[in-house]
Amino acid sequence: MSSAPKLRIDNVSMTFKTPAGAFQALAPVTLAIPQGRFVSLIGPSGCGKSTIFNIVAGLLEPTAGRVLIDGVEATGTIGRVGYMLQKDLLLPWRSVLDNVILGMEIQGVPLRKARDRALPLLQRYGLSGFEHLYPNSLSGGMRQRAALLRTLLFDTDLILLDEPFGALDAQTKLQMQEWLMQLWGDFGKTVVFVTHDIDEAIFLSDEVHVMATRPGRVVETIPVSIERPRRRTSVLTPEFLATKERCLELLTTGAFPGPSSRRHDRREVA
Partner 1 sequence: MSVQDTPAVVATDLGLSHPAGADASSGRPVRRLPVQREWPGWAILAAQIGILVGVIGLWETAATRGWIDAFFWSQPSSIFHTLTIFFTAGDAWTDIGFTFRSTIFGFLLGTAAGSLFGLSFWWSRNYAAILHPYIICFESIPKLALAPLVILVFGLGLASKVAIATALTLVVSTLTTYAGVKALDQDGERLFYSLGASRLQVFCKLVVPSCLPWIISVLRVNIGLALTGAIVGEFIASQHGLGRAILYAGQTYDIALVWVAVLALSTLAVIMYATVSWLERVLRKGVRQ
Question: Binding of partner 1 at residue 57 (CB under 8 A)?
Answer: yes
Alpha helices per DSSP H over the chain: 49-56, 96-100, 102-106, 111-124, 140-152, 170-187, 198-204, 238-255
Q: Rounded CA gap, 40 and 187, in Å?
A: 18
Instruction: Pick out residues in 149-178 that bind partner 1 (CB under 8 A).
Output: 154
Q: Closest distance between partner 1 and the C-beta of residue 160, in Å?
A: 9
Give the residue with the Cβ less far from partner 1, 69 or 81. 81
| 226 touches 239 (CB < 8 A) | yes
| Listed residue (50, 143, 155) closest to 102, CA to CA | 155
Q: Rounded CA gap, 83 and 170, in Å?
A: 23
Give the residue with the Cβ less far from partner 1, 102 or 204. 102
Question: Binding of partner 1 at residue 131 (CB under 8 A)?
Answer: no
Give the residue with the Cβ less far from partner 1, 64 or 78. 78
Q: CA-CA distances (angstroms) from residue 229 to 23, 65, 175, 190?
A: 42, 36, 15, 17
Instruction: Pick out residues in 69-88 that bind partner 1 (CB under 8 A).
Output: 78-83, 85, 87
Find the binder of partner 1 among 91, 111, 241, 242 (CB under 8 A).
91
Q: Rounded CA gap, 115 and 100, in Å?
A: 9
Interface region with partner 1, contact rule CB under 8 A, candidates 29-37, 52-60, 192-200, 214-222 = 52-60
First-residue to last-residue Cα distance in the chain? 37
Instruction: Pick out residues in 95-124 that bind partner 1 (CB under 8 A).
Output: 102-103, 105-107
Find the binder of partner 1 among 15, 34, 121, 134 (CB under 8 A).
134
Give the residue with the Cβ less far from partner 1, 150 or 244. 150
Sequence-distant (≥ 6) Cβ neighbours of residue 264 within 8 angstroms: 45, 46, 213, 214
Q: CA-CA distances (angstroms) from residue 15 to 60, 113, 217, 249?
A: 11, 43, 13, 28
Q: Closest distance between partner 1 and the C-beta of residue 128, in Å?
A: 22
Instruction: Pick out residues in 5-34 that bind partner 1 (CB under 8 A).
Output: none
Site size toward partner 1 (CB under 8 A) is: 24
Question: Binding of partner 1 at residue 193 (CB under 8 A)?
Answer: no
Give the residue with the Cβ less far from partner 1, 64 or 106. 106
The residues binding partner 1 (CB under 8 A) are: 54, 57-59, 78-83, 85, 87, 89, 91-93, 102-103, 105-107, 134, 136, 154
